[in-house]
Chain A
C-alpha cells in the first residue's frame, strides 16, 4: 500500500492531538492531588563516612633543555627565573603569576615550568607526602664523580588560601628516597575554595653533569 504525504500529515496531527489530550488529563489529576498514597512518618538513618581522595590537577613539570653552569651548581626551580636555557617557573595553575620568559609569553604557556597542583577531593584531612624512587645522586649523573653534590628538592605552597591546615613544608627540602617520605602538608583541607596545594621543585645540577634526560618516579601520597 502506498502512503502519500497527506496521509502522513493527518496521522501526525492526530498523534499530536492525542499527546496534548494526555498531558491535559495528567495536569488535571495532579491538581486534584495524588490519591492512594499512604501517609505517615518514618525515620531515615544516614551516616556520611569519610573518604580520602586527591586529584593531580597538574602533574607536568617541563624545564625543557639547557646546559650546566661552569664551575658551580646550577639551580633551576619551578618558582624561579632560570638560566642556561632552561624554562622559567610559574606560581600559577594557569595564572599570569610567573617568572622570566614564562611571564612574557603567558598565556601561551611556552617556556613555562609548572609546579604540580594537588586538590583534596575527599572529606577528610589527610597527610600529604612525597617520595622518589631514586635520590638526587642516583638520577643526576655526572662524567666521573660529580663536581658538586646534585640536589632535588620540593616545597609546598597554598594554591588556595587555607589549603593546608597545619604543617606546610614551605621551604625547599630534599625529596627523600622511598620508602622514606617527607610531609608536604600535615593536614590537607577539604574546604571547596581552599583545597589546592602547589608542589614546587628545585634541582641542583653539577657543572660536569652528563648529557641525559633525567628519569625518576615521584610518588604523591595522601593518607
Chain B
C-alpha cells in the first residue's frame, strides 16, 4: 500500500527564475608575495556589476589569513553596467602575522558574492574572488617548477622552458633538468638536457632545452627530472606535436527524404598549434548504380582555433539528385591551399517531395468530396424516412 501511495507523490525540483548574473573583481591576484613577519600593506580593489540591473554584493574574506585582512566595506550597492556607480572600489588592509605555518602556498580569497534567492526551490549564489597568495619558505632547498613547450611542430625546433622557483630558505648552488619525451603510451623518442645554473632562495629562474621535432604529429609526454644539490623533483606534461593540417574525423549523415534538404555533419580537427581562417567543405554526391551525375553541396567558410574539434554543417538539396537510393559522398576540406577527403554513404529515401505533393493534394480533395457526398446522402435518406413516417 505504501508503495502505491508513493507513486502519486510529486516532487518539484529546481524552479528558478531565469536571470543572467555577471560580476567581476580586480585586480587579480590582489597580492602575491613571500612571507614576511608583520608585513602590512593597503591595497585597492574594485567590484563591477556587469548586468543591466542594480545589484548589491556581500563582500567576504575566506581562507587561512582571513583574520589578518579587513575590508573598508562589507556590502556594496552597484548601479547597472555602463553607468556611473557600476563599479565600487575600496581599500583592503592586510597585516600578516608574526609566524605562519605550514610551509607552502597560503591562499585567502576576497570575494564579491551575489545571492539570487528563491523562496521555493533552489537558490544560486555567485562568488567571484581575488586571491591573496603568501608563500611560506620550506626549510632547506625546495623547488617548484612548471614546463612550457613552444613551437612543437613537425620539422621545426621546439623550445622547452622550465620555470623554476626555489621556495626553500637556502640557495641552490647548481640545478639542471633531464627531459625524456615519449610518444603517448609508447617508447621514448628523445632525451634532452638543460643548462646548469644556481638559484637563490625565494627566487625564480628558467632552464631551457631545444628539440628538433623529427616525429609524426600526435600526442606526446615530457617526463622532467630537475636535479638540484643532491635532490630531484619530477614533473610530467602532455603536449601535442602539430602540423598545419585539418583532418576530417567523421561524417554523420542521417537518411534524407527525397526532394528535401538534408543536414550533414562533418567533424573536423585542427592539428596545428595555430588557428586557420577561410576553410570550407565541399561534398560531391554520386548515386550508386546511377547515371553518374554529380550533385554538390558546400559549407560556408569557417575559422578553426588551435587543436579545435569542430562540427561543420553542410546542407544538401536532394531535389537535384537522382531520386531515392544509396549515394556515395566525397567530403573534401579546403584550407591553406591544401585539401583532405573522406568517403561516406548516405541514404535518400522516398518521401513526399515536390513531385508527390500535387498527388497528395488531389488525394486530399477527393477524400473531402467523398465525405461531403456521404454526409449529403445520409441526410437525404433521413429526410426520406421522416416523410414516410408522416405519411403513415
> Quick check: is A57 within 8 A (CB to CB) of the other chain?
yes
Q: Report whether B9 and A122 are in contact in the complex, using a CB–CB cutoff of 8 Å.
A: no
Among A55, A65, A119, A220, which residue has its beta carbon within 8 angstroms of that of B10? A65
Where chain A touches its partner, the secondary structure class is: loop
Q: Report whether A162 and B308 are in contact in the complex, using a CB–CB cutoff of 8 Å.
A: yes
> Quick check: is A161 within 8 A (CB to CB) of the other chain?
yes
In the bound complex, what is the Cα–Cα distance between A207 and B28 (angstroms)?
47
In the bound complex, what is the Cα–Cα distance between A154 and B35 (angstroms)?
37
A121-B24, A219-B125 known; A59 vs B50 contact (CB < 8 Å): no
Among B13, B24, B116, which residue has its beta carbon within 8 angstroms of that of A59? B116
Residues in B neighbouring A217, C-beta threshold 8 A = 115, 117, 122-125
* Residue of A85, A210, A213 contacting most chain B CB atoms (<10 Å): A213
> Quick check: is B305 within 8 A (CB to CB) of the other chain?
yes
Distance in Å: Cβ of B37 to nearest Cβ of chain A: 26
Q: How many residues of B contact A (CB 8 A)?
A: 52
Q: Report whether B22 and A53 are in contact in the complex, using a CB–CB cutoff of 8 Å.
A: yes
In the bound complex, what is the Cα–Cα distance between A108 and B232 (angstroms)?
60
Distance in Å: Cβ of B264 to nearest Cβ of chain A: 15
Residues in B neighbouring A36, C-beta threshold 8 A = none
In the bound complex, what is the Cα–Cα distance between A68 and B6 (angstroms)?
7
> Quick check: is A170 within 8 A (CB to CB) of the other chain?
no
A210-B9, A223-B109 known; A51 vs B21 contact (CB < 8 Å): no
In the bound complex, what is the Cα–Cα distance between A56 and B62 (angstroms)?
22
B295-328 vs A, CB cutoff 8 Å, 1 = contact: the mask equals 0000000000101111000000000000000000
Residues in B neighbouring A52, C-beta threshold 8 A = 24-26, 28, 128-130
Chain A: interface size category: 35 or more
In the bound complex, what is the Cα–Cα distance between A57 and B18 (angstroms)?
9
* Residue of B3, B8, B17, B124 contacting most chain A CB atoms (<10 Å): B124
B105-149 vs A, CB cutoff 8 Å, 1 = contact: the mask equals 001010100011100111111111111000000000000000000
List B1-16 residues whose CB lies under 8 Å from chain A.
2-3, 6-16
List A55-70 residues whose CB lies under 8 Å from chain B.
55-68, 70
Distance in Å: Cβ of B97 to nearest Cβ of chain A: 21
Q: Report whether B14 and A208 are in contact in the complex, using a CB–CB cutoff of 8 Å.
A: no
Distance in Å: Cβ of B371 to nearest Cβ of chain A: 31
Residues in B neighbouring A50, C-beta threshold 8 A = 26-29
Q: Report whether A60 and B17 are in contact in the complex, using a CB–CB cutoff of 8 Å.
A: yes
Distance in Å: Cβ of B246 to nearest Cβ of chain A: 14
- A68's nearest neighbour on chain B, judged by CB, is B6
In the bound complex, what is the Cα–Cα distance between A222 and B19 (angstroms)?
19
Distance in Å: Cβ of B126 to nearest Cβ of chain A: 6
Among A55, A86, A122, A215, which residue has its beta carbon within 8 angstroms of that of B121? A215
> Quick check: is A146 within 8 A (CB to CB) of the other chain?
no
Q: Report whether B11 and A51 are in contact in the complex, using a CB–CB cutoff of 8 Å.
A: no
Q: Report whether A66 and B122 are in contact in the complex, using a CB–CB cutoff of 8 Å.
A: no
Q: Report whether A56 and B22 are in contact in the complex, using a CB–CB cutoff of 8 Å.
A: yes
A53-B50, A55-B21 known; A191 vs B305 contact (CB < 8 Å): yes
Q: Report whether B125 and A222 are in contact in the complex, using a CB–CB cutoff of 8 Å.
A: no
Residues in A neighbouring B131, C-beta threshold 8 A = 223
Distance in Å: Cβ of B8 to nearest Cβ of chain A: 7
Residues in B neighbouring A63, C-beta threshold 8 A = 12-14
Q: Report whether A207 and B6 are in contact in the complex, using a CB–CB cutoff of 8 Å.
A: yes
In the bound complex, what is the Cα–Cα distance between A49 and B2 (angstroms)?
62
Binding site for A on B (CB under 8 A): 2-3, 6-29, 48, 50, 62, 107, 109, 111, 115-117, 120-131, 305, 307-310
List the 7 shortest-distance A-B pairs measured between CB atoms, nearest first: A53-B24, A55-B22, A51-B26, A49-B27, A221-B127, A63-B13, A50-B28
A-B contact pairs, 5 of them (CB 8 A): A58-B18, A62-B14, A63-B12, A65-B10, A219-B127
